Amino acid sequence: MAIKYMYNAMTQDGLDVHLEPVKIPHWVRGKESAEMIAPRAKSLAILGLGSSVGTPPEGIKAEVLVVQSFDELKQRASEAIGRIVVFNQPFVSYGETVAYRAYGASEAAKVGAVATLIRSITPFSINSPHTGLQDYQDGVKRIPSACITVEDAELMWRMAQRGQRIVVRLTMGAKTLPDADSFNTVAEIPGWEHPEQVVLLSGHLDSWDVGQGAMDDGGGAMISWEALSLIKELGLHPRRTLRAVLWTAEEQGGVGAQQYFDLHKVNMSNFDLVMESDLGTFTPEALQFTGSDAARKVMAEVVKLLAPINTTKLEAHGEGTDISPWLKAGVPGASLHVADSRYFWFHHSEGDTMSVQDPQEMNLCSALWAVVAYVVADLQDMLPR
């Protein structure tokens, strides 16, 4: 429905819009619940992790082993057999700590665990579980995996430290269905001189099934549309084509973007710059850029034009799941650095709603996105590789 909606909205906006079909994974959460039975009765807020298997209909009731790291799990491997392993790892950074969400189930299964409950990957919690993708390793038994709240992970850790026996019942109706049909949504303003050369701006249109996905990544998708919309409204005609792509199935591991890359990499030399916004659209602070030293010099001049909104900083490391195949292939890439300290408070949770978004902050992000995209698209030459 979101793809159809955006196709119509961007068409009505006067842009050239088309859909590119892709095949995507189809995972269904189903009904899920967890409760502590001992040492006392307590319901546990959970969110099953993407691609997880379900439990038998009656659920899994087992004793709990609480660990704080993969190392501790290895040291206590003999205690894990037949247990539900609870990971209570501290939050260091998303990039580092997300390994527990991604690989916790397979690591626990290797030592005989029957399920895993993983402390949500967030620095801040109001008893909120945060979902996300988990990744089974080939040749390892697939066991059910869900995230629990920071509070409940710490509670069970304290109980375990006191030597109390903890029993939990976990019920998950999760299942994976055959791959489904979806689309990457593409809108363009054709270049007047080099229509075959492209500056690509992007965000992803899919989100997890909790909250609204307004922040992750509604904001990134909307500013990529708004940038084109502004340029059209101003009557500007860039030399090269401006292309906004709203990716599908980013959350399952950049699935739509990988298929886009496979389809279009034959024209690699015509991709001037690829841009992605997927870390929130709070107040912009800088543009992050990956490319040659010569290209960086050009981009440093481009961002000087953003002095009126005070975002003239150019930082290293443009990043994004969806543009990473292009970056690895040597195409210059850019991403938005925003005041994102609150991003992981809401990320992949019921809290990711329109209430997180601020129109003025989004206007600033759109302005940065539009200026950078247009100016690069209208330069005499493509960015040097």
Query: Would you name the residues annotated as active-site residues?
Result: 250
Q: Encoding tokens for residue 125?
A: 């919690």
Name the one residue in this structure whose structure tokens are 């967890």: 34
Six token digits for residue 308: 């009126």
**Which residues are registered as beta bridge partners of 67?**
87
Radius of gyration in angstroms for the set of CA atoms belonging to the chain, rounded to a whole number: 23
List of E strands, the chain:
16-28, 32-38, 42-44, 46-48, 60-67, 84-87, 115-119, 145-148, 167-172, 175-189, 194-204, 240-247, 271-276, 284-290, 314-316, 333-338
CA distance 66 to 152: 11
Q: Which residues contact 217 (CB under 8 A, 6 or more apart)?
A: 203, 204, 205, 207, 250, 277, 278
Strand partners, 181: 23
Burial letters for 91-122: b for 16+ Cβ neighbours within 10 Å, e otherwise? beebeebbebbbbbbbbbbbbbbbbbbbbbbb
> How far is residue 254's CA from residue 74's CA, in Å, rounded to a whole number?
31
Helix H segments across the chain?
Answer: 2-12, 70-75, 94-110, 150-161, 219-233, 255-264, 293-304, 324-328, 343-346, 359-378
What count of other Cβ atoms lies within 10 Å of the Cβ of residue 207?
20
- Is the separation of the CB atoms in 185 and 17 below 8 Å? yes
